[in-house]
Amino acid sequence: MAVTRINIGPVHPSTHGVLRLVADIDGDTVVDVQPHIGFLHRGVEKLVETRMFMQNPPYMEKLDYVSPMSYDEVYVAAVEAAMGVEVKERAQYIRVILLELQRIASHLLWIGTMCNDIGQMFTAFMWGFQDRDMVLNLLEEAAGGRMFYVNMRIGGMVRDLPPDFADHALGLMDYMEKRVKEYERYLERNPVFMERMKGVGVLSYDDAKNLGVTGPVLRASGVNFDARKNKAYYVYQKLHFSTQVQMAGDNLARYKVRMMEIRESIRLVREAIKALPDGDALGMPVKLILPAAKNRISIVSRELPRGECIMYLVADAQKPYRLSIRSPSFINLAALNFLAKGQRTADMFGIMGTLDLVMGCVDK
């Protein structure tokens, strides 16, 4: 059969965000697929250079709009490292709690959109958004915003947790634990779901390392790497959780890693709330002139819901001189061509769904 070249996107319900794919297909088999990016490019790295350090977190949040607080935190941590500021202990615990809640919200949204990609299981979409809204309510209570929070300051937080937060969070965690079981019962007993996930898009251990993929995609291929564990930051080494690793490397393994990560996050939130120390959690007020950067260069690595994000900050006295962002979605997008080759055209979207791309993070 002759090879046909088809264009998918940039506006297409199955491309996550605004991504254009040019695919060469032979019958129904994908021979080659080239992603064309840049439809959301707005020059964050350049804009950041024109602003003071603490004017920038709102820009960082819009990079990855499914887990905004995590990106905010990476940037603030990079600035803290450049200034040589220690984060207060209570603030560290609060950050861990909020970041893990954000991870749960992000993975719940992923379940919904991914199930849409592999065959119109609209129930999963409804369930995912319903539960995500509950987590967002909790974050709204703690940080004041529904989607964008900007509640990190250098050395701490903007505000302490509200008094009822611990009860509400623990209640939600109990509910969420039940729901995760329900999701698994609903999805893994579904023959359509299993057919489209099992054995599709297999990424072997060596290939995963060579392609440089990060996060759940890497862990699903059997590589035991989690920046929370391996590059321990904050109080993560004091808390008990395990890195979730699956050996199969297919779509199902990536799904399982994310489901288990929700469980681990629930565990982390519970433990962090129990161990939350008393004291002051507030960071430096922005209105005061911040201390000038001591170290000129800082490199910070954090585990986001999508993988490991590294920020490289060259600091001037009051502004970033250069900020370079290694975004996990961009790295994982590189694996699409490798994984989709030889698969069915429809499975290409399933693979793209399990890579969990956010185009705002890819295009910067």
Partner 1 sequence: MDDWEKENRVTDARSEMNELVAQSMKNYEVKPNAIFAKLSDISGAFSKGLINWSRSNSVWPLQFGLACCAIELMSFGSPRIDAERKGFLLFRSTPRQCDVMIIAGWVTKSMIPEIKRLYEQMARPRYIVSFGECATCGGPWFESYNIIRGIDQVLPVDVYVAGCPPRPENLFDALMKLQKKIGGKIED
Binding site for partner 1 (CB under 8 A): 10-11, 13, 17-18, 38-43, 46-47, 50, 58-59, 62, 65-66, 109, 112-113, 125-126, 129-130, 133, 146-148, 359-360
Least spacing, CB of residue 125 vs partner 1, in Å: 7
CB atoms within 10 A of CB 179: 18
Give the tokens for residue 45: 């790295």
Give 18 or 31: the residue with its C-beta nearer to partner 1.
Answer: 18
Least spacing, CB of residue 311 vs partner 1, in Å: 19
Least spacing, CB of residue 175 vs partner 1, in Å: 15
Cα 98 → chain centroid: 13
Least spacing, CB of residue 223 vs partner 1, in Å: 30
Give 34 or 130: the residue with its C-beta nearer to partner 1.
Answer: 130
Least spacing, CB of residue 160 vs partner 1, in Å: 25
What does residue 116 show for φ and ψ, rounded to 5 degrees? -65, -40
Residue 273 carries which side chain, given as an amino acid letter?
I
Give 66 or 239: the residue with its C-beta nearer to partner 1.
Answer: 66
Classify the phi-psi angles of 180: left when phi > 0, otherwise alpha if psi is within -120 to 50, otherwise beta: alpha
**CA geometry: angle at 54 spanning 38 and 133, to 5°?**
65
Cβ burial of 191 (10 Å; 0-12, 13-18, 19+) is: exposed
Is the Cα torsion angle 39, 209, 249, 74 positive or negative in sign?
Answer: negative
Q: How far apart are the first and last CA of the chain?
A: 39
Give 113 or 301: the residue with its C-beta nearer to partner 1.
Answer: 113
Least spacing, CB of residue 162 vs partner 1, in Å: 20
Give 78 or 359: the residue with its C-beta nearer to partner 1.
Answer: 359
Give 108 or 208: the residue with its C-beta nearer to partner 1.
Answer: 108
Classify the phi-psi angles of 220: left when phi > 0, otherwise alpha if psi is within -120 to 50, otherwise beta: alpha
